[in-house]
Amino acid sequence: MHFSKSVYEVNRSGYGNMYYCYNTVTKQFALGARTVNSAYGLVVTSTSDTKRVTGSTITGNYVCTTIGLSSTSDANAITWQGLETGTANWRDWVQS
């Protein structure tokens, strides 16, 4: 999968642009992305569910709840954020 910095939001204070959450119990995962200016967001899950929501909805906690977890701090959650909050540095797992 390839993500483009021109399409996905960068440098919004307090927010990332990509969120990945994995449920260690159910073995499900979800990936959420927020577009530039938070126009909209998408969440795709391992069960092939795709949701289009308002961009401000896309947070790590929201993405985790789509696969049955309470939040990113749930003991059964493994999470990654695609962008270092407050910078334009993308994490290694996101191709830019």
Q: Distance between CA 25 and CA 69 in Å, rounded?
A: 10
pLDDT of residue 2: 58
Residue-level pLDDT at 3: 63
Question: What pLDDT, on a 0 to 100 scale, did the predictor assign at position 23?
Answer: 97
| Cβ-based neighbour number of residue 70 at 10 Å | 12
Which residue ranges make up each domain of the chain?
18-81
pLDDT in tens, the chain (96 residues): 556 666 766 656 666 678 899 999 999 999 998 887 777 888 999 998 899 998 888 889 999 999 999 999 999 999 988 776 666 677 776 654
**pTM (2 decimals)?**
0.80
